[in-house]
């Protein structure tokens, strides 16, 4: 087990006042709250900050932690001495509303576990404690845009709190094979019934919610069910019109570019977006004219000829005469 | 242990009644009413019996519960945070799209 330096976690000095502890915690809790912060490690940081606060906000627990904590470095292998909490009384009291089942083994070895249903505030609107339904768990799942279009099978490993025979809550890794249907889009959620935390007193298991994130694609960007693609075309394709191949998630299709098209022109490929059983989307293609760099005298001559023949001033809208 | 699990997707086409919502999120009807009064949830239908909630409302409800419990944000604050989070998400998507176009032009 690794020693955890709770002062470093909250970024405060060892002699910080209780007010400073509170302020540091509140600031970091807002910063790392997983609903607010999209970074991958936000949830982990949020839990660490909560655990540090659980200890440091309580003067008894803090005093006990300080008593031996000064000799240890963060990450160092650690085992608490058997009589380390002599003279302190904090078992079963002074806990915050944080979910202690998410705390580390380090915390548990020092302070034990909070009784599961204590400190539930009825005004918060959660009914779970009354019939002992297990807690709902939330996790994120990243899938590729191709998986979103086609559907996929995913394996995920979650840390799941379970209650062992002696009534202790432990987190155990848990592998799930999930079939994700086609047409799941960014921000949507998937509910896996009964895959949350175990219930107590014969209560049902909680549910597991997976929030879907679509990983960034090399060419396509996605807006809900619609796919956006910027399609490079040559100046002569834009000027004269052409039929060009366009990649879509369902394979290459032919797109007719009308003569006289400009950069920024948007065209729609109907029904080529992300479709579920009941909904469908489109693919939008935005044209970007790509100008070739002349590489020899013959090509440079071609540009000079255009200059003389076209007599083109692209800046008339700016009031420039040339 | 490996189990094959089918799942329910909350997509734009699915709707939920008040009692489904309360059961799914383990909340009381009064709590849902409070969120409606604050404009956090806007179900279709005039009376509680006719209310239909969309998938996005389940998400808003669950985020509301977490923000209130974890950060002690009150209802108006929760409503503001949810609106701002949605706006940030839209801006993030727009930025990604623009970056793709810009990368092409470079």
Contact call for B68 and A181, based on CB within 8 A: no
What letter does residue A202 receive in the DSSP assignment? T
Q: Is B25 exposed, middle or buried (0-12, 13-18, 19+ CB in 10 A)?
A: buried
**Predicted confidence (pLDDT) per residue in A178-191, tens digit:** 888 888 888 888 88
In this predicted structure, what is the pLDDT of residue A69?
A: 65
ipTM of the complex: 0.71
Rounded Cα gap, residues A200 and A134, in angstroms: 7
Report whether pLDDT(A130) > 50. Answer: no
pTM of structure: 0.62
**Predicted confidence (pLDDT) per residue in A219-268, tens digit:** 998 888 999 999 999 999 999 999 999 999 999 999 999 999 999 999 99
Within 10 angstroms of residue A245's Cβ, the number of other Cβ atoms is: 9
Q: At what angle do helices B29-37 and B55-71 cross, to 10 degrees?
A: 90
Q: If you average pLDDT over residues A87-108, what whole number do you get?
A: 58
What DSSP element (H or E) covers A52?
helix A42-56
Rounded Cα gap, residues A178 and A184, in angstroms: 13
**Predicted confidence (pLDDT) per residue in A254-283, tens digit:** 999 999 999 999 999 999 999 888 888 999
DSSP-derived secondary structure for A63-109? HHHHHHHTT--TT-B----TTTTTT---TT-S--SS-GGGS-HHHHH
Rounded Cα gap, residues A170 and A191, in angstroms: 23
In this predicted structure, what is the pLDDT of residue A121?
A: 40
Q: Which of residues 4-33 of B touch A (CB under 8 A)?
A: 4-13, 24-28, 30-31
Determine which of A193-197, A207-211, A215-219 has the lowest per-residue pLDDT on average: A193-197
Contact B35/A303 with Cβ under 8 angstroms?
Answer: no
Q: A interface mutation test: which of B3, B5, B7, B14 has the most A CBs within 10 A?
A: B7
**Predicted confidence (pLDDT) per residue in B22-40, tens digit:** 988 888 999 999 999 998 9
Q: If you average pLDDT over residues A58-74, what whole number do you get?
A: 74
Beta bridge partners of A213: A142
Is A128's Cβ below 8 Å from some Cβ in B? yes
CB pairs under 8 A between A and B: 114
Q: B51: Cβ–Cβ under 8 A, 6 or more apart, which residues? A: B17, B18, B43, B44, B45
Domains of chain A: residue spans and CATH: 6-119 (1.10.287.110), 134-214 (2.60.260.20), 221-318 (2.60.260.20)
The more confidently predicted of residues A108 and A193 is A193
Rounded Cα gap, residues A214 and A281, in angstroms: 16
Q: A interface mutation test: which of B100, B102, B103 has the most A CBs within 10 A?
A: B100
Contact call for A230 and B100, based on CB within 8 A: yes
Domains of chain B: residue spans and CATH: 15-105 (1.10.1660.10)
The more confidently predicted of residues A86 and B49 is B49
Q: B interface mutation test: which of A125, A143, A207 has the most B CBs within 10 A?
A: A125
Edge-to-edge strand order for the sheet containing A221-223? A221-223, A226-233, A283-289, A266-269
Q: If you average pLDDT over residues A83-101, what whole number do you get?
A: 53
SS3 at position A156: strand
């Amino acid at each position: 087990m690794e020693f955890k330096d709770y002062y470093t976690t909250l970024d405060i000095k060892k002699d910080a006042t209780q007010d400073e502890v509170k302020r540091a915690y509140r600031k970091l809790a807002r910063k790392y709250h997983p609903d607010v912060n999209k970074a991958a490690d936000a949830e982990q940081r949020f839990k660490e900050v909560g655990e540090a606060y659980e200890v440091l906000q309580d003067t008894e627990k803090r005093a006990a932690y300080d008593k031996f904590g000064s000799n240890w470095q963060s990450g160092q292998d650690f085992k608490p001495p058997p009589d380390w909490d002599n003279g302190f009384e904090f078992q079963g009291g002074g806990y915050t509303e944080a979910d202690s089942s998410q705390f580390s083994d380090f915390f548990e070895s020092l302070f034990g576990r909070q009784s599961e249903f204590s400190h539930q505030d009825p005004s918060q609107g959660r009914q779970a404690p009354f019939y002992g339904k297990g807690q709902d768990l939330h996790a994120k799942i990243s899938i590729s845009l191709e998986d979103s279009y086609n559907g996929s099978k995913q394996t995920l490993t979650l840390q799941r709190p379970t209650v062992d025979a002696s009534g202790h809550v432990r987190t155990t890794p848990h592998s799930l094979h999930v079939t994700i249907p086609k047409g799941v889009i960014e921000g949507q959620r998937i509910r896996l019934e009964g895959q949350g935390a175990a219930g107590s007193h014969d209560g049902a298991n909680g549910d597991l919610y997976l929030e879907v994130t679509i990983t960034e694609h090399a060419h396509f960007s996605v807006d809900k069910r619609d796919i956006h693609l910027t399609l490079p075309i040559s100046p002569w394709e834009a000027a004269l019109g052409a039929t060009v191949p366009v990649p879509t998630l369902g394979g290459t299709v032919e797109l007719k570019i009308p003569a006289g098209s400009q950069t920024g022109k948007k065209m729609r490929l109907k029904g080529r977006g992300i479709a579920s059983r009941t909904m469908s989307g489109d693919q939008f293609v935005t044209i970007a004219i790509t100008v070739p760099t002349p590489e020899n005298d013959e090509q440079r001559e071609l540009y000079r000829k255009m200059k003389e023949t076209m007599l083109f001033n692209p800046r008339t809208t700016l009031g420039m005469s040339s | 242990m490996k189990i094959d699990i089918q799942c329910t997707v909350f997509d734009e086409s699915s709707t939920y009644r008040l009692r489904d919502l309360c059961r799914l999120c383990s909340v009381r009807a009064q709590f849902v009413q409070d969120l409606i009064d604050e404009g956090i949830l806007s179900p279709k239908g005039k009376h509680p019996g006719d209310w239909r909630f969309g998938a996005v409302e389940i998400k808003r409800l669950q985020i509301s519960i977490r923000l209130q419990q974890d950060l002690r944000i009150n209802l108006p604050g929760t409503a503001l945070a949810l609106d701002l989070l949605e706006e940030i998400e839209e801006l993030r998507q727009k930025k990604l799209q623009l970056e793709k176009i810009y990368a092409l032009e470079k």
